[in-house]
């Protein structure tokens, strides 16, 4: 979250509701290591990234849903997992993200 | 009012202190967090004091090597149980790059080092050259001889850190190399032509540097990409630093013969 910290702080000061998605695990080939993060605020503004641009669009929809529901969960993207979302990584890997509201 | 965990995390990251943020991402206590900092009590709780204690120990070990990842535990911190999964996010402080010599190559290397996330210190004994105006990107400028610089920074240099000696003047190179070899620094690169390198190697032997010490040096500095400008040379040096860390085979200038630049 280091790379997006300044944005998180200023959004928070502005009273925005925020969801943060972090890469927690990778199987096979993945462009970003665990710890890579992106954040979305209630206005739909986005900072950071969790892949090479392959899944960011889908993460934004997930994040907006999480801002609404104030829930938290793991989300997996990739072709190899049966429960994976339709969106995948072109490199063929699987990434596990954890998405939660910035409410802590 | 006490600071939130996020505020404490943000403060630690901004002050470039080592910090681990641990979050339960699956199972019992989903979303609970602790903040682990070396030498400080844990902030927050994962919901069980024994779990906090075990996870703190594991997080400190991960922080030491700068690694982030997931681990499973029992509800009271038992190993090999799967009541919950945590994500340990390590934020190690930025590595050091200590550059000797306030020359044009230094500015280009310092720029590239900042891009890679290093904390950059530029050192030169000549106050006319070692100025913030010439090196605005440097985090610190030391107008000092190599011995004084190592007295100040030597103890903090570790495997993730870099010493780049760009002076190619034996008066500075020999003491800088000698002192760098006494540290645990991961990369020591020394600039110069083949001729400069050969002369310097003689001086270093006379100064008591053994073969193991000489083998530790990346001299001439950089990989063989045919770079000419200060900027291209900086890329060649940074590429060598990354390759050494990742253990990849590259065509290092020190392992080749012949002129560094084609005529």
Residue A31 token pair: 């462009």
User: For the purposes of burial, counting CB atoms within 10 Å of the CB of B154, is it exposed (0-12), middle (13-18) or buried (19 or more)?
Assistant: middle
Name which of A2, A5, A22 is nearest B87 (Cβ-Cβ).
A22
- pLDDT at residue A81, rounded to an integer: 47
**Which of A7-11, A97-101, B58-62, B248-252 is predicted with the least confidence, judged by mean pLDDT?**
B248-252
Q: Which residues pair with B208 in a beta bridge?
A: none
Average pLDDT for residues A36-62, to the nearest whole number? 92
The CATH number given to B96-255 is 3.40.50.720
Q: Inform me whether the pLDDT recorded for A86 exceeds 60.
A: no
- Of A42, A35, A43, which Cα lies nearest the Cα of A4? A35
- pLDDT at residue A84, rounded to an integer: 47
Average pLDDT for residues A77-94, to the nearest whole number? 62
- pLDDT at residue B260, rounded to an integer: 82
Give one DSSP letter per residue of A71-85, joined into a string.
--EEEEE-SSSTT--
- Of B105, B112, B109, B102, which Cα lies nearest the Cα of B133? B102
- pLDDT at residue A88, rounded to an integer: 60
Whether residue B87 and residue A104 make contact (CB cut-off 8 A), yes or no, is no
Average pLDDT for residues A70-92, to the nearest whole number? 70
pLDDT band at B34 (very low <50, low <70, confident <90, very high): very high
Name which of B5, B25, B26 is nearest A104 (Cβ-Cβ).
B5
The answer to whether the beta carbons of residues B224 and B232 sit under 8 Å apart is no
Average pLDDT for residues B120-125, to the nearest whole number? 96
pLDDT band at A79 (very low <50, low <70, confident <90, very high): low
Query: How far does B121 lie from chain A, in Å, by closest CA?
Result: 22
- pLDDT at residue A89, rounded to an integer: 62
Average pLDDT for residues B158-182, to the nearest whole number? 94
Give one DSSP letter per residue of chain B, joined into a string.
-PPPHHHHHHHHHHTT--EEEEEEEEETTTT-EEEE-TTSPPEEE-S-HHHHHHHHHHHHHHHHTT--EEEEE-TTS-TT--SEEEEEEEEPPPPEEEEE--SHHHHHHHHHHHHTT-EEEEEES-TTTS-TTT-TT-SEEEES-HHHHHHHHGGG--TT-EEEE----HHHHHHHHHHHHTS--SEEEE---HHHHHHHHHHHHHTT--HHHHHHEE-S-SB-S---SHHHHHHHHHHHHHHHHHT----BGGG--S-SS--
Instruction: Say whether the peptide bond before residue B220 is cis (omega within 30 degrees of 0).
Output: yes
Percent of all residues in chain B with a pLDDT value above 70, rounded to a whole number: 99
For an interface test with A, the pick among B2, B7, B25, B43 (most A C-beta atoms closer than 10 Å) comes out as B25
Residue B141 token pair: 């400028």
> What is residue A49's three-state secondary structure?
coil
**Bigger pLDDT: B110 vs A78:** B110
Average pLDDT for residues B185-198, to the nearest whole number? 94
Whether residue B4 and residue A1 make contact (CB cut-off 8 A), yes or no, is no
Distance CA B239, CA B180 (A): 20
Distance CA A40, CA A60 (A): 7
- pLDDT at residue A75, rounded to an integer: 94
Q: Inform me whether the pLDDT recorded for B195 exceeds 70.
A: yes
Average pLDDT for residues A51-70, to the nearest whole number? 91
Q: Which residues pair with A96 in a beta bridge?
A: A25, A76
A34's enclosing H/E stretch is none
Q: Where do the domains of chain A lie?
A: 2-101
- pLDDT at residue B93, rounded to an integer: 86
Q: Where do the domains of chain B lie?
A: 5-91, 96-255
Q: Is B25 an interface residue toward A (CB < 8 Å)?
A: yes
Distance CA B165, CA B148 (A): 15
Distance CA A104, CA B5 (A): 6
Average pLDDT for residues B7-15, to the nearest whole number? 94
Mean pLDDT of chain B: 94
Q: Which residues pair with A27 in a beta bridge?
A: A94
Q: Inform me whether the pLDDT recorded for A80 exceeds 80.
A: no
- pLDDT at residue B131, rounded to an integer: 95
- What is the 3-state composition of chain A as percent helix, strand, coil, each rounded to the nearest 5? 25, 30, 45
Q: Inform me whether the pLDDT recorded for A53 exceeds 90.
A: no
Chain A: residues touching B (Cβ < 8 Å): 1-2, 5, 8-9, 12, 22, 24-25, 33-35, 72, 74, 96, 98, 100, 102, 104
Whether residue B4 and residue A25 make contact (CB cut-off 8 A), yes or no, is no
Whether residue A24 and residue B70 make contact (CB cut-off 8 A), yes or no, is yes
Distance CA B119, CA B95 (A): 6
Average pLDDT for residues B195-217, to the nearest whole number? 96
Q: Inform me whether the pLDDT recorded for B2 exceeds 80.
A: no
User: For the purposes of burial, counting CB atoms within 10 Å of the CB of B252, is it exposed (0-12), middle (13-18) or buried (19 or more)?
Assistant: buried
Q: Inform me whether the pLDDT recorded for B39 exceeds 80.
A: yes
- pLDDT at residue B257, rounded to an integer: 85
Distance CA A88, CA A94 (A): 8
């Amino acid at each position: 979250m280091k790379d997006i910290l300044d944005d998180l702080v200023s959004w928070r000061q502005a009273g925005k509701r925020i969801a943060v998605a972090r890469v927690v695990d990778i199987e096979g080939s993945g462009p970003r290591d665990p710890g890579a993060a992106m954040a979305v605020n209630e206005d739909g503004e986005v900072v950071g990234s969790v892949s090479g641009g392959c899944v960011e669009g889908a993460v934004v929809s997930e994040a907006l849903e999480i801002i609404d529901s104030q829930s938290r969960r793991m989300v997996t993207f990739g072709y190899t997992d049966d429960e994976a979302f339709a969106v995948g990584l072109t490199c063929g890997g699987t990434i596990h993200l954890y998405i939660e509201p910035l409410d802590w | 009012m006490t600071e939130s965990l996020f505020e404490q995390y943000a403060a630690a990251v901004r002050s470039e202190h080592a910090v681990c943020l641990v979050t339960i991402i699956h199972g019992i206590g989903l979303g609970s967090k602790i903040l682990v900092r070396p030498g400080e009590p844990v902030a927050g709780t994962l919901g069980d004091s024994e779990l906090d204690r075990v996870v703190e120990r594991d997080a400190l070990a991960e922080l030491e090597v700068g690694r982030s990842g997931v681990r499973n535990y029992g509800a009271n911190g038992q190993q090999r149980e799967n009541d919950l999964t945590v994500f340990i996010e390590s934020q190690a402080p930025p590595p050091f790059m200590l550059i000797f010599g306030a020359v044009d190559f230094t500015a280009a290397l310092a720029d590239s080092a900042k891009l890679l996330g290093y904390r950059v210190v530029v050192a030169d004994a000549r106050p006319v050259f070692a100025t913030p105006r010439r090196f605005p990107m440097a985090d610190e400028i030391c107008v000092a001889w190599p011995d004084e610089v190592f007295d100040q920074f030597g103890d903090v240099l570790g495997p993730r850190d870099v010493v780049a000696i760009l002076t190619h003047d034996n008066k500075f190179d020999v003491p800088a190399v000698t002192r760098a070899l006494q540290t645990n620094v991961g990369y020591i690169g020394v600039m110069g032509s083949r001729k400069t390198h050969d002369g310097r190697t003689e001086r270093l032997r006379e100064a008591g540097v053994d073969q193991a010490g000489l083998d530790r040096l990346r001299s001439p500095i950089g990989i063989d990409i045919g770079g000419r400008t200060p900027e291209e040379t900086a890329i060649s040096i940074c590429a060598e630093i990354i390759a050494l860390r990742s253990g990849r085979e590259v065509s290092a200038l020190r392992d080749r013969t012949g002129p560094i630049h084609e005529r």
